Amino acid sequence: MPTTLKPSGIRLADLAARIGAALDGDGDVRVDHVATLDNAGPGALAFLSGNKYRGQLAATRAAAIILAPVHAGATRLPKLVHANPYVAYAVAARALYPAERAVSGVHPSAVVAASAQVDATAAVGPGAVIGERTRIAPRAEVGAGCVVGADVFLGEDVVLHPNVTLYARSVVGARTIILAGAVIGSDGFGMAEEDGRWLRIPQVGRVVIGMDCEIGANTTIDRGAIDDTVIEDDVKLDNQIQVGHNCVIGAHTAIAGCVGIAGSTSIGRNCKIGGAAMISGHLRIVDNVVISGCTGVFHSIDAPGVYTGAWPALPHREWLHAMSATRRLRSLEARLHALERAGGAAGDNEREEGA
């Protein structure tokens, strides 16, 4: 959904009330856009969420700052003081850049099946295709070039950006946003091997996406082989993620780009998974787990916490040395055990001779 800048800006006092912040300074100051501390100019609203950029406060030309109480004394500029400056910034940015809704109605170039039900307040863009018996709820938006298969349900205020594909029987909950090029409900990778050849297994489940989710550009979510693939409420998926068939991703979980999740894996609620992590199939990951970027997960995770399985970057020669040492660990361990056994035997002999 595109956004538009509010041309007249917003009074700082009004913005403070909207985001639940304490106003410190001139409430009549108007802000009309957001900017970083070092690039801010007149009319800009900037924010400081930690100590890293505190040194930029003295030189910033922003009209106003969002910051935490601990930093409130570091600048004389008008400020909005909030316990969580990043959340306050998010709310302020949404106020300054309100979403621009598409015009209701079906574009003349769209193809809508006769049995489909499209609410009068919904919008179907140019070249979109809507399948048989599909239901599109009030204020939903289907962007240009989208293909929505048969028996799909789109909830209220759902937004499909251009060229999204929803296969048959997919379900998308209210207020969910799916970005351009995503493919929802394609066949899972289900194959049975017979005499050196692969036999394709029909994938008969669905993809069910909850409310208030976001699915990133070119992300793919396979439908279930038998049971459904389920994305629970308020899940945030970045771009170019692969979710295999029969996976379940718990509510409020966020997953960064290029993560691959093999089939039949269950990920708990409130998890955070870093970019390019690879997760094997048929695993269970409990609630409140954090997985660092590039980590390979090959076994279930049964306890909350932070899990890391990637080497930090090293100069190449240092990396070669570390890898060489790592490859020798097994032989070094065997030698150590042999020495311990030899030392133990020698000690036993000495005790026998002393007796």
DSSP E strands in 141-253: the ranges are: 141-142, 147-148, 153-154, 159-160, 165-166, 171-172, 177-178, 183-186, 191-194, 197-200, 207-209, 214-215, 220-222, 229-231, 236-237, 242-243, 248-249
CB 126 within 8 A of CB 107: yes
Q: Three-class SS string for 13-56?
A: HHHHHHHCCEEECCCCCEECEECCCCCCCCCEEEECCCCCCHHH
Catalytic (active site) residue 299? no
Q: Which residues of 118-129 are buried (b: 16+ CB within 10 A; e: fewer)?
A: beeebbbbebbb
Take residue 85 and report the two structure tokens written for it: 């400056």
User: Is the torsion defined by CA of 87, 89, 92, 97 positive or negative?
Assistant: negative
Amino acid in the structure at residue 7: P
Q: Are 67 and 87 in contact (CB under 8 A)?
A: no
Query: Closest Cα to residue 121, out of 108, 137, 134, 104?
Result: 104
Catalytic residue among 71, 82, 245, 252: 245
The closest alpha carbon to 123, from 162, 94, 68, belongs to: 162
Distance (Å, whole) CA 355 – CA 350: 9
- CA torsion 103-220-150-191 (nearest 10°) is 170
Phi and psi of 192, rounded to 5°?
-115, 135
| Cα separation, 120 vs 105, whole angstroms | 6
Note whether 139 and 156 are within 8 A (CB).
Answer: yes
- Residue for token pair 């863009």: 125
Active-site positions?
Answer: 245
